[in-house]
Structure formats: structure tokens, C-alpha cells
Amino acid sequence: MIPIARPIIGDEEKQAVLEVLDSGMIACGAVTTKFEEEFAAYIGAMHGIATNNGTTALETALRALGAGPGVKVLTTPFSFIASTNAIVYTGATPVFVDIDANTFNISPESIEAKLKEDPEIRILLIVHLFGQPCDMDAIMPLVKKHGLLLVEDCAQAHGAMWNGRKAGSFGDAACFSFYPTKNMTTSEGGIVLTSDSETARRCRMIINHGMERRYYHDDIGYNYRMTNMAAAIGRCQLKKLDGWNEKRRANAALYLEALAGETGVTLPGCPDKAFHVYHQYTIKAPADKRGGLIQKLEERGVGYGVFYPLSIPEQACYGGKYENAQTPVTDAVKKEVLSIPVHPGLTAEDAAQVAKAIREYCEASR
């Protein structure tokens, strides 16, 4: 079986965790601080605030920027639900606009139209989906024109770049996840990045029970801290991230070569200014034929993922509250997308086997 994802944990990570265990300081401490500094420097932000997962990082960033009851947050309907749940946790109201069919990211044209329609929107939360950075040339002028606060969800975009600038360095805050399937991991974990000192101060209070001074609680906060053990893994993984991303990009290039000209699938697009790090390699097949492609992959022992079969507004947990969102592109894309293995553990032989299965499907569906 060729898996859709395969976390890579080496001897360095194991040794780093053992050193933390031997130190006796296994909770949040100096190792976490080092990881915060190193990851922030890698992306190009002044401050890093490490958290226990990517969802709490998003919630923390939104709260620090003033999200709460009466605040509207514009976002994408095509993402893992955490990006919207974080908005809901704060009491703010998510507002959805459509995506671009080629990149799967939030559409700048849809953003602009919604901002004209609803000038009360104060925060924009974008998601750099599948490792593909959003069109920041189009988004940043809208942020400035409408006086928005920008939060970047970079949970799938570690090391991705737009026009040479890393995803996570554009917004008032940016959030990363270090879940095991991401481009790098801390086992579980997340981080908020910002270059604003006051936002960083608020984030640190939020994740640490509302404290700046020990046992003096100025706000109602949470226990969202990262442990030294997780941070130790992250420090090792960060050193390997660029190499792993290059392997992902190399695997994507193999697919591009092997599947060029096939009419039964659409390969992922990548604008010239985008440096895609392929958290997922997501193709499209016609909605009425995707089941046949899935069957072929299963026959050939190839792992796959359908990310995401429902748009966020459709999820049952929201009770139909947001189903009036007009997102026709999302509604079409969700029936067509299929992600195939692209992780750095994938060999050239594996990629060839995956491509062969897809070509077999394409031939049979003609």
C-alpha cells in the first residue's frame, strides 16, 4: 500500500525528546522558546507563540486581534473545519466567499465583491490550501483599502512562498499546524506568528491562563501551551523542512510529466509567482467519474484522500446557519477533488505506480 501521508521521525528527533525527558523540564520552557524563535525567523516574523495545536493557534490569533461577538470574519468555505471553528469559538461570525477553481484558494474577486456588499467585515482569514499560497498581490491591496486585519492560516503551507516571500509573513498574524501529516510535525502543535509586539503579548496571555506575571491573571485565558517535548521534535524537523519540500516538489514534477496530456483528470494549477510545497497533490476528475478513479487506486494499492467532501457551511454542526452562502465553485470542486500521495517518503517508483493507475483510469473512462 502506498499511503497518502507518512510522517518521518528520525534518530535526531528521538534523541532530542530523550534529552528533554532527562532534563526533567518536559512542559513549556526553554526548548519551546527556542523553537518559537527559530520558526519565526524561518518565516520572517518577529514573534512566535507556540501552542498545543493549529486550531488553538487560530483561535488565539483571532482573539488577540479582537474577534468576538458582533465581529464578522470573511473566510473560505473550502478548508478543514478548524479554520471556521476558530472563528466560532471567539463568538465572531464567519462570512463565506467562493474559491478559485484552479488553485482551490479563496478568490480575490469574491473577497472584493463581498466587501463592497458588507462593509462591516473587519477580519479576513485566508487559508493557503494544500501548500499553495493565496494570490497575495490581489489580496493585500484589498486588505489595505478596506482596513482589514489579516490572519493567514498556513496549516498546510510550511515554506510556501508568494513572489519569494513566505506564506505567514503577510498578515497581522499567521498560524501553522504541526499535526503529524503536515510538511513538518511536532506530533501535535501549532504556532502563532506576528510582527506586532502587542499582538504577541496578548497571544502569550491567552495561551497561558491570562497571565503575564505568574499567578496574576489579568484575563480569562486558556492552557494552550506547547510542551518542550513537542518543541524538541519541531526544532529537528525545521532543519529538514526545506529538503522535504523539495522532495514534495520533485514528486509533483514527476506527476506533471507522467500525466501530461491525460484528458480524464485535471492537474493542480500553480501561478508563476507561487512556490507550492504540495502538502497535498490534488487533482480533479469529473464528478460522475471520480468514483471510478477511486476504485482504480484502491485496486492498485494507492492511498488517496477526498479533501473535502462537504463545504464548511454544509457541516451538520452548524445546523444550516450558513447554508445561504453563495459558493458555486466550491460546490462543484468538492465533487471533483482527489488527493494522491506526494509526501517526501514517496519514491520515484511509487510515483510511477500511482501515475500508472491514473492513466489506466483515464484510458478506461474515454
Whole-model pTM: value is 0.97
The answer on 347 and 246 residing in a single domain is yes
CB 152 within 8 A of CB 106: no
The answer on 52 and 180 residing in a single domain is yes
Kindly state whether residue 4 falls inside one of the protein's structural domains: no
CATH of the domain at 253: 3.90.1150.10
The answer on 162 and 15 residing in a single domain is yes
Q: What are phi and psi of 275, to 5 degrees?
A: -105, 100
Q: Dump the DSSP string for 105-133.
A: SBPHHHHHHHHHH-TTEEEEEEE-GGGPP
pLDDT at 123: 98
Cα–Cα distances (Å) from 230 to 14, 106, 236, in that order, read 11, 31, 10
Kindly state whether residue 319 falls inside one of the protein's structural domains: yes
Q: 45 lies in which domain range?
A: 11-236
- Here the contacts of 207-216 (C-beta below 8 Å, separation 24 or greater) are 207/49, 207/51, 207/56, 207/60
pLDDT at 332: 98
Q: What are phi and psi of 43, to 5 degrees?
A: -80, -35
Domain's final residue, options 210, 236, 262: 236
The answer on 40 and 136 residing in a single domain is yes
pLDDT at 40: 98
pLDDT at 325: 87
Kindly state whether residue 6 falls inside one of the protein's structural domains: no
Q: Is 164 left (phi over 0), alpha (psi -120 to 50) or beta?
A: left
Only one residue has cell 474515454, namely 366
CATH of the domain at 159: 3.40.640.10
Kindly state whether residue 5 falls inside one of the protein's structural domains: no
Kindly state whether residue 147 falls inside one of the protein's structural domains: yes
The answer on 160 and 133 residing in a single domain is yes
> How many domains does one find in the chain?
2
Which of these, 143, 149, 142, 235, lies nearest to 198 by C-alpha position?
149
Domain's final residue, options 197, 216, 236: 236
Cα–Cα distances (Å) from 317 to 70, 126, 196, 314, in that order, read 21, 22, 34, 9
The answer on 230 and 260 residing in a single domain is no
The answer on 125 and 225 residing in a single domain is yes
Q: Which residues contact 106 (CB under 8 A, 6 or more apart)?
A: 75, 76, 97, 98, 99, 100, 126, 127, 134, 139
Q: Which three-class secondary structure state does DSSP give residue 152? A: strand
Domain's final residue, options 216, 236, 256: 236
Only one residue has cell 471553528, namely 85
The answer on 246 and 213 residing in a single domain is no
Kindly state whether residue 227 falls inside one of the protein's structural domains: yes
Kindly state whether residue 137 falls inside one of the protein's structural domains: yes
The answer on 248 and 197 residing in a single domain is no
The answer on 258 and 214 residing in a single domain is no
CB 194 within 8 A of CB 46: yes
Per-residue pLDDT of the chain (366 residues; tens, 9 = 90+): 999 999 999 999 999 999 999 999 999 999 999 999 999 999 999 999 999 999 999 999 999 999 999 999 999 999 999 999 999 999 999 999 999 999 999 999 999 999 999 999 999 999 999 999 999 999 999 999 999 999 999 999 999 999 999 999 999 999 999 999 999 999 999 999 999 999 999 999 999 999 999 999 999 999 999 999 999 999 999 999 999 999 999 999 999 999 999 999 999 999 999 999 999 999 999 999 999 999 999 999 999 999 999 999 999 999 999 988 899 999 999 999 999 999 999 999 999 999 999 999 999 987
The answer on 62 and 25 residing in a single domain is yes
The answer on 61 and 17 residing in a single domain is yes
pLDDT at 365: 86
Kindly state whether residue 1 falls inside one of the protein's structural domains: no
